[in-house]
């Protein structure tokens, strides 16, 4: 029997050869923010995924959080990405770029001295590695003045336009994992008293305005979003209006009629952060594609796909260690395990040297 993961996806917005997505993973290999030749090899090796989503990619000098995060705000970065996109397309693959502004996560020493910006001047308690190898606490961010909010929306728009020029099939806006958009959503990082803070409508306003502006620029059929509801990360905690907030986000995304919503799940104490009831509710509110990632193996991915709750499954760590994941699913071949020690290290080891099954 053919795996449901290998069923093609045909909609009026997009066609994909299978339901297996390569999850966005910042492998921190873009030396000084510029995508490299090794990144071409890495993505080409994985081009038979139904869809690739890239490393989270910075929209400005102070957006990438970690050292060697790729960017797409200079023409050099854009041209380097174009080589990757062309190579993936030559292999018949499809590729979306994940765009991030990391907000208060980061340090000015990593980003050419540019200060951190955030909804409010509330500092993350965690440490981050600096270029000199030392670890320091993330700095106090500057609260973005109301009048400057359109500038940051414009950075998302410009980066999306750059992505189109580089030939990407679409853009995934990173609104998950405690980065800037998530910092606006969550009251633990947003104490604003203007129309971007306080009520549920106000806290999601930045997200909605970014999505409106990006989809107007590149087309709703090329625009996706990643969200991580109910997830505690970078000092963000659960809050009383969380369910209502995420329900309103789904309603607003439905109004914008964008291509997809991508949920980032995590397993905490053996339980998913995104419960089935929430997915059922999201499915009713949002009519286009729903993707989920986080803690799936082949069997559990097939199960949730067959249940009809989601349309696509994004695989993270399994895609690090199994470049030919689709082939392995097709022929029921054993899966290789990954080495965490090389997730974020520089160089090709643990990056482009995982063999395909027939090379073992
Ligand atoms: C090395 C590594 C880097 C990651 N970088 C990103 C990223 O840039 N953007 C993002 O949204 N998620 C990122 N993630 C999370 C993955 O997209 C995915 O949600 C997570 O690995 C859970 O899926 P899995 O159980 O299939 O690995 C990263 C995960 C790993 C392991």
| Ligand 1 in reach of 174 Cβ (< 6 A) | yes
Q: How far apart are CA 300 and CA 293, in angstroms?
A: 11
Nearest CA to ligand 1 atom 2: 25
Q: Which residue out of 19, 23, 274 has the highest number of ligand 1 atoms within 8 Å of its CB and is therefore the one to mutate?
A: 23
Question: DSSP assignment, residue 232?
Answer: -
Nearest CA to ligand 1 atom 23: 294
Q: Residue 207's pLDDT is what?
A: 99
Helix (H) or strand (E) holding 224: strand 223-227
| Ligand 1 in reach of 98 Cβ (< 6 A) | yes
Q: Residue 1's pLDDT is what?
A: 75
Closest CA to 229 of 191, 197, 261: 261
Q: Residue 112's pLDDT is what?
A: 87
Q: How far apart are CA 318 and CA 324, in angstroms?
A: 10
Question: DSSP assignment, residue 333?
Answer: P
Q: Dihedral of CA 16/18/24/25: which sign?
A: negative
Question: DSSP assignment, residue 187?
Answer: T
* Model-wide pTM > 0.95: yes
Q: Residue 31's pLDDT is what?
A: 95
Closest CA to 97 of 19, 162, 28: 162
Give residues with Cβ within 8 angstroms of 169, minimum separation 6: 14, 51, 94, 95, 96, 222
pLDDT (tens digit, 0 to 9) for every residue of the chain, 360 residues total? 799 999 999 999 999 999 999 999 999 999 999 999 999 999 999 999 999 999 999 999 999 999 999 999 999 999 999 999 999 999 999 999 999 999 999 999 999 899 999 999 999 999 999 999 999 999 999 999 999 999 999 999 999 999 999 999 999 999 999 999 999 999 999 999 999 999 999 999 999 999 999 999 999 999 999 999 999 999 999 999 999 999 999 999 999 999 999 999 999 999 999 999 999 999 999 999 999 999 999 999 999 999 999 999 999 999 999 999 999 999 999 999 999 999 999 999 999 999 999 998
Q: Which residue out of 19, 22, 26, 72 has the highest number of ligand 1 atoms within 8 Å of its CB and is therefore the one to mutate?
A: 26
Q: What domains can you pick out in the chain, each with its CATH number?
A: 4-359 (3.20.20.70)
Roughly how many angstroms between the first and final C-alpha of the chain, as a whole number? 26
């Amino acid at each position: 029997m053919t795996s449901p993961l290998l069923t093609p996806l045909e909609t009026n917005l997009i066609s994909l050869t299978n339901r297996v997505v390569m999850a966005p993973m910042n492998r921190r290999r873009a030396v000084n923010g510029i995508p490299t030749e090794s990144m071409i090899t890495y993505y080409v090796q994985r081009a038979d995924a139904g869809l690739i989503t890239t490393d989270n990619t910075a929209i400005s000098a102070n957006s990438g959080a970690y050292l060697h995060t790729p960017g797409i705000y200079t023409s050099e970065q854009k041209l380097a990405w174009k080589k990757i996109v062309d190579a993936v397309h030559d292999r018949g693959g499809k590729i979306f770029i994940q765009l991030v502004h990391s907000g208060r996560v980061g340090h000015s020493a990593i980003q050419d001295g540019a200060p951190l910006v955030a909804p409010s001047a509330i500092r993350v308690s965690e440490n981050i590695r600096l270029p000199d190898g030392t670890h320091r606490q993330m700095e106090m961010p500057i609260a973005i003045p109301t009048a400057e909010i359109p500038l940051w929306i414009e950075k998302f728009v410009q980066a999306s336009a750059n992505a189109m020029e580089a030939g990407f099939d679409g853009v995934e806006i990173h609104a998950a994992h405690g980065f800037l958009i998530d910092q606006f959503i969550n009251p633990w990082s947003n104490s604003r008293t203007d129309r971007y803070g306080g009520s549920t409508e106000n806290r999601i306003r930045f997200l909605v305005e970014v999505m409106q502006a990006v989809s107007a620029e590149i087309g709703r059929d090329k625009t996706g979003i990643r969200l991580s509801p109910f997830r505690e990360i970078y000092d963000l905690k659960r809050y009383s209006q969380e369910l209502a907030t995420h329900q309103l986000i789904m309603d607003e995304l439905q109004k914008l009629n964008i291509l997809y919503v991508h949920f980032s799940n995590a397993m905490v104490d053996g339980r998913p952060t995104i419960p089935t009831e929430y997915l059922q509710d999201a499915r009713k509110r949002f009519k286009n594609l729903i993707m989920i990632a986080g803690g799936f193996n082949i069997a559990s991915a097939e199960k949730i796909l067959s249940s009809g709750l989601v349309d696509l499954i994004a695989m993270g760590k399994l895609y690090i260690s199994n470049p030919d994941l689709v082939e392995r699913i097709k022929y029921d071949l054993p899966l290789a395990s990954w080495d965490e020690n090389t997730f974020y290290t520089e160089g090709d080891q643990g990056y482009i040297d995982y063999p395909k099954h027939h090379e073992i």
